[in-house]
């Protein structure tokens, strides 16, 4: 019973994930794939944390229509992206282009990883050095322990 | 090194970053337009008052003009109507309305009810010109120079404050 309730609650949240999508006829499977890829990667400007495919906003519908029309006219997906960026800026891209203003965005995580690795290596080396010092004394300690056991 | 130094540094950095996101006058909903200082997208649209006649961007070349995107279904447009009217009454620039995704009959009724501040309004029934201008929420207001370049874009309702502090300085500079 509990499982059923949980399932119902979870499925209730699923419904709005895909907003009402218009039925478009595609001439080729390639065009359909391009269309679906574009509306998943382009961002809706009205509900700003949704992509075009997930948004039910009026503007999102218009931009889906624009995307479909451009692809029907034989334009390439890159041309559609260019069209959107010219009007709405880089904000419409969920996958930002790699250029001077976005270097930090793309490379930042790797930079952070390098910094963390640097500190990690330094720390591990320090720990190893400390262990080596102990090793020098290890023989002595063992000797003392052995003597103690013999005495008992 | 004091064992509190690193956590404190991390905290200060984080607080600084979050504080930057909360700075005054910053609204993450406002998407800066890539069209600033670019040629205004061309249109030729039927006038609301005389649908048989068209107004095009070419007709407006050589003068400073303001394009205000509005619709009868837009509640914020009602809020800014008084401010837009105040701007129109100064007779400084040609004020063009872009009636965005609206029923012309509703639009005309709206203008009759609240008053018509526009020199003319043009009909963008399917919102395609709106897309060309990068409109994503009504109302929006553009200032276009005599050279046909978009000089300023205001997103959302214009208030008396934003009219005086943002739009008027741009207009004054353009009008010399």
Place of tokens 């591990």: A124
Q: Report the alpha-carbon distance of residue A134 to residue A122 in Å, rounded.
A: 19
Ordered by where they begin, the domains of chain B are 31-175 (3.40.30.10)
Q: What is the pLDDT of residue B32?
A: 86
The three-class DSSP label of residue B122 is: strand
Inform me whether the pLDDT recorded for A28 exceeds 50: yes
pTM of the model: 0.79
Q: Least CB-CB distance to A45: which of B35, B128, B136?
A: B136
pLDDT digits (tens, 9 = 90+) for B125-164: 999 999 999 999 899 999 999 999 999 999 999 999 999 9
Q: How far is A96 from chain B (nearest CA, A)?
A: 15
Mean pLDDT of A79-85: 96
Q: What is the pLDDT of residue B172?
A: 95
Residue B35 near chain A (CB below 8 Å): yes
**Peptide bond before residue B139 is cis, with ω within 30 degrees of 0:** yes
Q: Give contacts of A116 with chain B, Cβ < 8 Å.
A: none
Write out the two tokens for B38. Answer: 């670019």
Cβ pairs A/B, distance under 8 A:
40
Q: What is the pLDDT of residue A15?
A: 47
ipTM for the complex shown: 0.85
Residue numbers of chain B with a pLDDT score lower than 70: 1
Q: How far is B104 from chain A (nearest CA, A)?
A: 18
Q: What is the pLDDT of residue A16?
A: 46
Q: Single out the residue of B167, B163, B144 nearest to residue B82, CA to CA.
A: B163
Of A66 and A152, more confident: A66
Interface test with A, best of B6, B10, B30, B31 (most A CBs within 10 A): B31
Tell me what percent of the residues of chain B surpass a pLDDT of 90: 89
Mean pLDDT, chain A, rounded, equals 85
Residue A119 near chain B (CB below 8 Å): no
Q: What is the pLDDT of residue A131?
A: 66
Q: How far is A130 from chain B (nearest CA, A)?
A: 18
Inform me whether the pLDDT recorded for A9 exceeds 70: no
Q: Give contacts of A90 with chain B, Cβ < 8 Å.
A: 34
The three-class DSSP label of residue A93 is: strand
């Amino acid at each position: 019973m509990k499982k059923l309730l949980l399932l119902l609650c979870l499925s209730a949240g699923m419904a709005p994930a895909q907003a009402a999508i218009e039925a478009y006829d595609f001439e080729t499977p390639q065009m359909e794939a391009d269309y679906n890829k574009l509306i998943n990667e382009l961002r809706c400007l009205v509900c700003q944390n949704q992509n075009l495919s997930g948004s039910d906003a009026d503007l999102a519908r218009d931009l889906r229509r624009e995307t479909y029309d451009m692809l029907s006219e034989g334009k390439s997906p890159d041309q559609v992206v260019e069209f959107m960026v010219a009007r709405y800026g880089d904000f419409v891209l969920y996958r930002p282009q790699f250029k001077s203003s976005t270097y930090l965005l793309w490379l930042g995580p790797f930079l952070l990883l390098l910094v963390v690795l640097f500190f990690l290596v330094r720390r591990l080396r320090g720990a190893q050095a400390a262990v080596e010092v102990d090793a020098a004394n290890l023989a002595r300690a063992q000797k003392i322990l052995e003597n103690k056991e013999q005495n008992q | 090194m004091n064992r509190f130094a690193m956590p404190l540094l991390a905290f200060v950095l984080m607080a600084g970053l979050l504080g930057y996101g909360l700075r005054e006058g910053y609204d993450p909903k406002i998407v800066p337009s890539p069209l600033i200082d670019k040629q205004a997208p061309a249109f030729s649209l039927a006038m609301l008052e005389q649908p048989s006649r068209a107004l095009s961007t070419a007709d407006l070349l050589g003068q400073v003009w303001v394009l205000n995107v509005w619709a009868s279904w837009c509640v914020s447009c009602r809020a800014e109507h008084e401010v837009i009217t105040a701007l129109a009454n100064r007779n400084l620039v040609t004020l063009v309305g872009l009636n965005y995704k609206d029923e012309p009959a509703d639009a005309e009724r709206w203008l009759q009810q609240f008053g018509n501040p526009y020199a003319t309004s043009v009909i963008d029934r399917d919102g395609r010109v709106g897309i060309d201008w990068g409109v994503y929420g009504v109302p929006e207001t553009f200032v276009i120079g005599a050279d046909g370049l978009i000089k300023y874009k205001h997103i959302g309702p214009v208030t008396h404050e934003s009219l005086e502090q943002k739009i008027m300085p741009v207009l004054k500079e353009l009008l010399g």
